[in-house]
Structure 1
Amino acid sequence: MVSMLSRIHPLTRCSYSSAVTSFYDIIIIGGGMVGNAMACSLGLSKHLKSKKILVLDSAEIRAPTKNSPYGYRVTAVAPHSVSLFQKLGIWNDLVDLRVKRVDRLQVLDSCSHSSIRFAQPDPCNEVAYMIENNAIIGFLSNSIKTSCPNVTIRTKVKVLDCRTPSGLDEFATVTLDDGTKLQASLVIGADGARSMVRDMLDFKYTSWGYGQSAVVANLRVQ
């Protein structure tokens, strides 16, 4: 992948139209965990130091503090993802905030006696870590701002349109809600399960509803 990205057309070869205000080698639409992790990984790559990268997100990104309320959205982070966070320089920040280790995991079914158990062969090794999503996003954003000078993050912006090029000598075009038009050699859609980028580009996919809902809460244990 890095080899392919390193061959992205340089900026000097871009032909601008009067409506296009900026060119980026890579535009990442979506500043959540996936989008920010991708941006941070690309920004830290020695092969892509000369490439301009832009992250677009509709929300404001802030890293929580120890006094911040617990977030309701959390992720079970597997050991391989922990290794990634260590490489991206955010793991120690997450641990200093609040990270909860999971040694064993059991999933129960209310309609039967079936269950699934997860555990490592070595009891000294963890199955996962429970981490708040906003902490992962916030610290990734901080790492990008401090360690990736070739990456720009724009928040509170909405993408209205995304168009792929009709030929190899053209670029993808992204239109924002303020009328700004951006061009890029590569557009990465990281805007979640209900991806607007996927819909705009008419990518085919299969999905179905489970007809279920869930209650998410934080518990204070005495």
Structure 2
Amino acid sequence: MEATPLIITHTIAHDEAEGMMRDIEFLARNVYNSSTVISADVLFGWYQRNPSLWWLAKINNRLIGYIYVIPLKKDTFQKTLRLGFDEKLDIIDDAIRNWNDGQSNQYSLYLCSSVVDPLYQKSFVLPIHLLLVQNLLKTLVFYGKSGTIMTEWSAFAVSRVGCHIAQEYYDMTCLARDNHNNSIFYGITNCEHQEVLLQNIQRKLELRKLKI
């Protein structure tokens, strides 16, 4: 029997958006503590501001993983670098930038969430986290070469895996950590840096193929 193909997409059709935001919330609740999960209503508000924030992994049209990132205005981005930052309160719709919005070609990017269905988290054949990061980096490199340049990024990690991803995949540095192991990460980046990170991910994927 032919294996079911994995599809990774950066596009969410408008008529599917509300349902997809519910799927994203549901998947997040399977992985994260419920207090840290962003509701579908808030996600849909962000979608309406910028519909191209998500990279989705699907099998048989079922969501099994995602990454989403948010280009933020500078004053809001600065808040992401402090413990106590609250995504639900601090990321208001007006703080979210659109790609190629004409305000500036330099962007500050907040890596908001990265989730993989627990059934697929340890899959060697389908390394969903790596494939999602690969697709994200490919898009950012394309954006950068088109004049939409990521110059800095941050992340809020709530697990050891999240810390590993921020350090290993995005070359970020931990700025602060609280008593609940929540960590703030930050890094300077540019198109060339993202190309190097992409090459590192591609090498990891090639090594996995050799071991299968």
TM-score using structure 2 length: 0.23
Structure with more relative contact order (C-alpha pairs < 8 Å, separation 6 or more): 1
Which is richer in helix?
A: 2
TM-score using structure 1 length: 0.22
Rg larger for:
1
